[in-house]
Structure 1
């Protein structure tokens, strides 16, 4: 249905549902939303279900805003807001977006700013004519969050985004050619390997790219096969869907804008911030190692401008015949399984993303109940016959034992971690050990992006598990703000830590030891027989982390002074502490499939080494009785 037809339909139904005393000055389509502008502020009365009825009748997302002619001037609007908003809301900042008619309210207690059943929001709309948007203030300062929020409110950016959303809406609601529906997926990366995850979903009327990652362990082919004929030209891609922010899924997303893509990106709100953080760091690491970077910071900003955030459980049209819903995948902050509803229900497909089917210290377990489901594309990182991990409590005890043994020898503990996910899990364990008096006064240093990523976790408590969420909400006993943690502020501070004689614990990025500040600690401590490196996350094939984990006695690190590399002896103890992984082990993967509802007709495996994929597929066929396939990169599978 073309945009013009959508607007005609909304006008027709509005005359039947909306009282005669309510008029509309304009109707516009912005992405999948139909926005109606009215000078009649009484439409925002409490418990008004007119909008809901209209949305149900036209089967579209309806937003009603006040016409600009009835908006109060900003000064008067601010005064009125002070009268309306309860003190308990804890308003930190108020910003007016004159381009879109929004007033952005940053609150420490968003629930009070919204009011029961939205009563406060409706009062604001009625009395000042501005559309209130409530956002949570972070209890820990996040430069990334602050920069993105300020950037999106710049007049030029806001005006450009309004035009962009209109353009997206026209593309979503466009006329299509009649014909037989089909559903196909082309494997562009991450199949029979871990890294460069990328899939192309194709239907009769749509092309959607799911993830666009990088493989640090594959120097010959680190990028997805974006030159495949199904993908090009990139202008033909309707949208990109990002399941989560880890670089093996998100690193090359900004590169798409270099080669002509200018469409929308769909992800959860925290994924937008985390992806931006990690992509900027990716540029720094690549430059520091003298490697070519396929994009620059402007392309990251363009990705931010083109992102349409979507919360868990919300559904949106992304193309003429595809609806998208995100569900929690339990892997990292904001990680999601992407559920696609094709056409009028002809087919339903889920891309699992990376999943953790277990309640963790950070998140609730992955969702595996969907409204409808025929096809599943699923990760298999730990799908091998013997890929069983200990419980998290056992992992915590193991880490404590390793720390104790190292401290007795007056050594230092180096834990390479991903900035997002594993860092925060290890922090929670260390904070608990500290609160129990087991770490005494030993300092814990956080180097790299860990502090910033942790601040983003505090900014989105609704994505955390119930116990942790309440601690952040109440801003009491927030474990992330414990006095035990020290942020490494500078290169000089890092050098001081490297040269210290007393025991210390350092959490540093990157998690696979393929760049970042962890390299400096490794350079200094690797020759020390008394120190220990503890791996708590997956080490991909070809990475420095995997070589060290497998027992390399000598490694070559970048020579800062002369260029090239220098040999470094590895005498430190190398330990692997399992139980911290953000991926499901074999037992959890099988439980995920046994309890998934409804049962899919076909399962495709990706995100796993070739042998593990095949072993997992065999078990799925024998034990779960599902049709399971293991495609290679560049294969296309037809689902319908």
Structure 2
């Protein structure tokens, strides 16, 4: 999965005329020096530091990093990106550890209004949009991250088809989603209980459901000319890749829907759509073209792979053992300043929002 993402970055950089920060040779060299660890497996990374990974619930293989320093004199847990709720794709992040004195926790969604809808709510919203588009004879384009978000949506659609909540229409998958999904299928032990039960008890890989059709770039015009369908394609922010090609073909038709299920960064095409811009200037093979967006544009928040404010507070309150101190990182400065006192009061833990370059003594 790591090689797939790095190679994709190099290819994308070359396609848009940018110079990548590293080469193919650098990736191969890095992989030759990479050691893989199972969850809960402990390894010495220096004479006085032991490292253990635990499931982070973010994407396939994501890990919380637990550092045991100087024979347990001090223990640090760094969450990295994590999610603290079960989904159809992944089990939620682990919350029990041998010892933790210091926690370094991501706070991407720690703001007062950063409360995501539940997964069932998000799914029902998506199903309703798909049903509406199908009734109009239109298609639904879902720009999605090829790793994690696409597979999450696929599993939700499987459930929708099984329950009769969705019409019997094809789902087309494009771009890197094929390779990424194949990797997910190869590692069911690292996926959710929902997937493991399907694979091991029912002998069925949910990623190979008959509704799913992987397509190539040559087939895109045919896909957009056909009947009602769902199309899942990267990139999630519409910064490039097949999702932009589909946008050009589908956006002018008011029968279609475009569903944004990923974070949309400032300056991206996806952000412009989210903010209500309905006339887009896009680069084509022959230069720039202007697209008028008549399709219905919708935003669904509940599929995020990050913990929201409620999950962050729940994680702090239920961690075993409770850390003595929490460093809040990977969030907007103002939001973290507001979240710190709330977290301290809710979980009775001292919180710190460090500045870049600031140094702290752990013990």
Scaled by the length of structure 1, what TM-score is found?
Answer: 0.55
Could you tell me how far 1:450 is from its partner in structure 2? 1.1
Hey, what's the Cα distance between the residues in 1 that align with 2:330 and 2:90? 21
Which structure would you say has the larger Rg?
1
1:439 aligns with 2:151: no
Question: 5 Å matches for 1:16-95?
Answer: none
Per the alignment, residue 536 of structure 1 pairs with: 261
Per the alignment, residue 241 of structure 2 pairs with: 516
- Equivalent residue for 1:300, pick from 19, 27, 30: 27
CA 1:554–1:634: 2 relative to 1, 3 Å: farther
Hey, what's the Cα distance between the residues in 2 that align with 1:611 and 1:504? 42
1:382 aligns with 2:109: yes
- Equivalent residue for 2:97, pick from 370, 374, 377: 370
Hey, what's the Cα distance between the residues in 2 that align with 1:541 and 1:491? 28
Show CA shifts across 1:149-173 (max 9, x none): xxxxxxxxxxxxxxxxxxxxxxxxx
Could you tell me how far 1:333 is from its partner in structure 2? 0.8
The alignment yields a C-alpha RMSD, in angstroms, of 1.8
Could you tell me how far 1:466 is from its partner in structure 2? 2.4
Corresponding residue SS for 1:558? strand
Hey, what's the Cα distance between the residues in 1 that align with 2:202 and 2:12? 34
- Equivalent residue for 2:292, pick from 539, 560, 569: 569
Per the alignment, residue 602 of structure 1 pairs with: 325
Could you tell me how far 1:501 is from its partner in structure 2? 4.7
Is the 1:381–1:612 contact (alpha carbons within 8 Å) kept by the matching residues of 2?
no
Hey, what's the Cα distance between the residues in 2 that align with 1:586 and 1:571? 35
Is the 1:458–1:472 contact (alpha carbons within 8 Å) kept by the matching residues of 2?
no
Is the 2:340–2:353 contact (alpha carbons within 8 Å) kept by the matching residues of 1?
yes
Corresponding residue SS for 1:308? coil
Scaled by the length of structure 2, what TM-score is found?
Answer: 0.94
Hey, what's the Cα distance between the residues in 2 that align with 1:611 and 1:535? 26
1:552 aligns with 2:277: yes
Show CA shifts across 1:456-492 (max 9, x none): 111111111223113223572321110100001x221
Hey, what's the Cα distance between the residues in 1 that align with 2:236 and 2:197? 29
1:629 aligns with 2:355: no
Is the 1:358–1:588 contact (alpha carbons within 8 Å) kept by the matching residues of 2?
yes
Is the 2:131–2:167 contact (alpha carbons within 8 Å) kept by the matching residues of 1?
no
CA 1:543–1:615: 2 relative to 1, 3 Å: farther
Could you tell me how far 1:618 is from its partner in structure 2? 2.9
Corresponding residue SS for 1:327? strand
Could you tell me how far 1:408 is from its partner in structure 2? 2.2
- Equivalent residue for 1:467, pick from 182, 191, 194: 194
Is the 2:217–2:242 contact (alpha carbons within 8 Å) kept by the matching residues of 1?
no
Hey, what's the Cα distance between the residues in 2 that align with 1:280 and 1:441? 35
Per the alignment, residue 14 of structure 2 pairs with: 287
Hey, what's the Cα distance between the residues in 2 that align with 1:542 and 1:638? 39
Hey, what's the Cα distance between the residues in 1 that align with 2:66 and 2:189? 21
Is there any run of 5+ residues in structure 1 with no aligned partner, and where? 1-273
1:329 aligns with 2:52: no
Show CA shifts across 1:208-227 (max 9, x none): xxxxxxxxxxxxxxxxxxxx
Hey, what's the Cα distance between the residues in 1 that align with 2:342 and 2:275? 27
Deviating above 4 A after TM superposition, structure 1's stretches of 4 or more consecutive aligned residues are: none
Corresponding residue SS for 2:35? strand
RCO greater where, 1 or 2, for CA within 8 Å and sep 6 or more? 2
Aligned length: 363
Could you tell me how far 1:438 is from its partner in structure 2? 4.0
CA 1:578–1:456: 2 relative to 1, 3 Å: same
Is the 2:134–2:167 contact (alpha carbons within 8 Å) kept by the matching residues of 1?
no
CA 1:623–1:438: 2 relative to 1, 3 Å: closer
Hey, what's the Cα distance between the residues in 1 that align with 2:106 and 2:276? 28
Show CA shifts across 1:198-253 (max 9, x none): xxxxxxxxxxxxxxxxxxxxxxxxxxxxxxxxxxxxxxxxxxxxxxxxxxxxxxxx
Per the alignment, residue 223 of structure 1 pairs with: none
- Equivalent residue for 1:507, pick from 224, 232, 256: 232
Hey, what's the Cα distance between the residues in 2 that align with 1:635 and 1:601? 19
Hey, what's the Cα distance between the residues in 2 that align with 1:508 and 1:538? 15
Per the alignment, residue 477 of structure 1 pairs with: 204
Corresponding residue SS for 1:356? coil
Hey, what's the Cα distance between the residues in 2 that align with 1:378 and 1:541? 24
Is there any run of 5+ residues in structure 2 with no aligned partner, and where? none
Corresponding residue SS for 1:316? strand
CA 1:478–1:385: 2 relative to 1, 3 Å: same
